[in-house]
Amino acid sequence: MSRKNVFLVKIAFFLPLLASVCSLYEDQIGKFDWRRSFVGKLQDGFFDSVGNDLLIVTSEENVVAGLSAKTGDILWRQVLERSARGDIKHAAFYTDTQSVAPQSTVLTVSGHSPTLIRGWNPTEGLVMWEWSLTSHYPEHRDDIWFTDNLMLYHVIPFWESHLEVTQYYASTGQQLKPGSSKISAAWIKKGKCVLATPFFVCAIENQLIGVNLISDNGQLFSKTLPKATVEAPKVIPGLRATILLNNELISLEGNSFEAKIQPNANYFVATIDNREILLQTTVEGGNIKVSAVDLLSGQSKSEVEAVIPLPASLGTPAIKAVKCRRKSDSQPLACRFLLDTVDDSVVLVQQGKIKWTREEALANVVAVEMVDLPLSDDEGAIEDEFNSKDGDFFGAIARRLTSQVYQIKSIFLTVMGLGSLSTSSNVDILVRDSFGLHKVIVILTASGKLFGIDNISGKVHWQKFLVEIDHFTESQPMKLLVQRTAKHFPHPPQFAVVGKQKNSRNGVIYQFNPVSGEPIQGGIIRLEYGIQQLMVLNEAESGNFLRAILILDEKNRAHVLPESEKIQANGMFLFTVKTEGEVSGYHIHATNKEISANLVWKLDLSGGSNAQVIQVAGKNPMERVHSQGRVLSDRSVLYKYVNPNLIAIATFGLDAIHKYVINVHLIDVVSGSIVVTLTHRRAKGPLHMVHSENWLVYSYYNDKVRRTEMTTIELYEGKIQTNSTVWSSLISPPEPMVERQSYIIPANVFAMKETITEKGITNKDVLIGLSTGAIVEMPWALLDPRRPVTATQNQAREEGVIPYIPELPLPSENVINYNQSIARIRGIYTAPSGLESTCLVIAHGLDMFVTRVAPSKTFDLLKEDFDYFLISIVLLGLTVASYVVKHLASRKAVKQAWK
């Protein structure tokens, strides 16, 4: 066979293997998106005793990570199991000097039954060894772990009875002695005891009693206090066998301390120059003051002391780790302090200055909103020109000439190279762009910290720590409300944070400008009543476009802020949902002088059992319904049941027959009528819901077949529309037609959200956050409950539906965050942009990912590789050709006229 024939055979063999693929070019990564990674609220911190650029931390988010001590960047991160299975109960950093090659190890103890004990390589973050421990007791939340001399000790207190202590070799899990040692201790009481390694100590009235847990005979410690104490003893981090009681250091090993304790300070003990130094941190005059005192002699250590300016955005700090060293014997000490603040920030201080700060509060986001940027000076001048309604003719001419002068000046500076034609190209300049893609992300975190973040660059423009505001309850966090957007020039936008005062049940409101972060009218408004429910009124205050806040207090009394807008709340309906399943509806009657809330209906969704509400989903107030109906294959229209007062409430309860039961109710909160009820037996959470237009999507775990399922329902009025103008829940609207279908999704769902656009023309997709860290953009065509099981080909083609298949596909090209996985996704937020085709997306969890999606492709935007030069040449050529042809045509007409 000739070479030519061999070549043709190879081509014929490889041609069938060619296929169309979708991919992301490497130069597109990070062009329209960005990701930030976090570790969460700090729990423990250790400096590497060998390396100089390594910091080991553990967090309350079940994370073990290695940070760069120079920059604060994450060098490696290990995310442990979710929830209580991965709770880190104990962490230690030690170096085994007894081995031939001394090696540092990070030890963590996490979870319960099994409890996993792991040893991590501090340099690379890899697991060097692991062993598990299964307890024969049910989950014991009071058990304690500690390490001592390469041994790991597990202590289980049985209050007012005894202690069980078990010793293990840390790296192997082998017990030093078979079984557990039981120490009789009838004097231990919950809330009165603490572990001061290696002693377990309790303060009982005027007695201080403790036992040495690592001694063979259980050595006891007893001391009579001068007076009875009501507070529990405290432990100072880094100090062994010592407690702090009544602002006094008490050694359990007989040591005598000369150091004086400062009240209202945070304490830490570090070993510096082979001496135990007590470090006390206080905040004085806007500065962090670190004082250092030798524990035994009481002499101050001036080389370690520091005064650091405290930024206004940070809370009260506490020291988590200290490392001091000298370059030579003649050089002074150089110290690094790792600080953990009340607002969940992690700060590294080196030689009296803040070297870097990590905003770990962003690992626990409770509310997200987006705000448009203000207009530029030129656009603002145009708005002033057209907003003037005083009828001044000469003033209008002056404003027009002024705006044109500004535009000519801008063009001249651009041509001369002294300015920019459009400031929107610079993401650091907070000016609105042409397509509304540049916005400020306003984030409220669980620690009570506010952030204003650029959605294009990820830069934090401002931050504010709200010291006075707390969450309503553990399940009801603070609320972030939008009172005025940036679309009402020249009025600035206004947001509000509503929560509870930390020292009382009364409510508190913080009003601020979301673009600049500055407070408005002092910011804080302290209320004299507790808040049960709240909402932002639809109608804005006349003149300044500010939407008032309607509040229902704990005594079912209504309030409006500002009070001058009470009349705007007249005729409004408000509903409340309690965890026990009680749903109530109130009608607001208001005049200029008084306002009242009247109970009009009440429902009990518990069904007389122990069912509890686990999820409530309303419709996005920004959404617009573009199409009122759906065209069927016979050219008739099936009108949507678009009830703006409809909410979805899911309850979960135990059942004697079916084990678990989930009920999903669609309720009209104006009339109190239950529109639809769906029941899922042997199903349980986690449950996530998306409610939009006339459809509802929710996911749950089917315990019978052990898989995650998604159910979708659509509501229709029928082929005759009741009212095409204004919906009313008070005229007994017809019962809707319900289309429903269930699907299997081969992954665990952590969050769901629908896409949203400004006019609602673009198709809606559902964004699904998975346990793998991926966010899948699921087209509604795949979730459509009208997908026919058996249908003719013509009918399916005419209506545009896909034949029903129970499994939902998860193609990789639908993952909007490609390889930028998001650990522990908690929520997804979507917002419309100025382009109808584009939706802005923010996914938050242990990481934060910001991007944009186009469910119907970018039909209103030119492609990136559009050849502007070629089209300009073509247009110029056509223009010249048209004039030439016009001239030739006129000459021809003249010649014909002379014939």
- Name residue, tokens 């409950």: 785
Token pair in block for residue 198: 């290696």
In DSSP notation, 793-855 reads HHHHHHHT-PPP-SBPP--GGGBTTTT---TT--EEEEEE-SSTT-EEEEEESSEEEEEEE-T
pLDDT of residue 4: 58
Between strands 827-832 and 775-779, the pairing is unpaired
pLDDT of residue 801: 85
Residue 113 CB partners (closer than 8 Å, separation 6+): 134, 135, 139
Stretch (H or E) spanning 740? strand 737-744
CA-nearest of 680, 652, 678, 681 to 665 is: 678
CA atoms 420, 423, 425, 429: torsion sign:
positive
Decide: helix, strand or coil at residue 483.
Answer: strand
pLDDT of residue 822: 95
Count other C-beta atoms under 10 Å from residue 844's C-beta.
28
- Rounded Cα distance between 564 and 550, Å, is 12
Stretch (H or E) spanning 383? helix 377-387
CA-nearest of 150, 97, 153, 93 to 120 is: 93
- Rounded Cα distance between 443 and 427, Å, is 19
pLDDT of residue 422: 43
- Rounded Cα distance between 759 and 859, Å, is 14
Decide: helix, strand or coil at residue 448.
Answer: coil
HSE-CB of 773 using CA atoms within 13 angstroms: 13
361 phi, psi to nearest 5 deg: -65, -25
For the whole model, what pTM was predicted? 0.89
What is the per-residue pLDDT across 775-796, written as a single tens digit (0 to 9) for each? 999 999 999 999 988 766 666 6
pLDDT of residue 139: 65
pLDDT of residue 538: 83
What is the per-residue pLDDT across 415-443, written as a single tens digit (0 to 9) for each? 555 554 444 334 456 788 888 899 999 99
Cβ contact 702:685 at 8 Å:
no
* Regions of the chain with pLDDT less than 70: 1-27, 51, 98-101, 138-140, 376-394, 396, 410-429, 541-542, 791-798
Token pair in block for residue 881: 């050709």
380 phi, psi to nearest 5 deg: -65, -35
pLDDT of residue 377: 59
What's the CA dihedral at 454, 460, 461, 463 to 10 degrees? 130
Count other C-beta atoms under 10 Å from residue 395's C-beta.
12
- Rounded Cα distance between 365 and 844, Å, is 7
Stretch (H or E) spanning 399? helix 393-415
pLDDT of residue 791: 64
- Rounded Cα distance between 32 and 29, Å, is 8
pLDDT of residue 189: 92
Task: Report helix, strand and coil shares of the chain as percent, to nearest 5.
Answer: 15, 45, 45
Distance, C-alpha 82 to centroid of its chain:
16
pLDDT of residue 426: 43
Write the CA distances from 414 to 329, 425, 606, integer angstroms: 60, 14, 68
CB burial of residue 703 (10 Å; 0-12, 13-18, 19+): middle
- Rounded Cα distance between 123 and 433, Å, is 45
- Rounded Cα distance between 730 and 728, Å, is 5
Decide: helix, strand or coil at residue 531.
Answer: strand
- Name residue, tokens 């986690």: 686
Token pair in block for residue 710: 């998604």
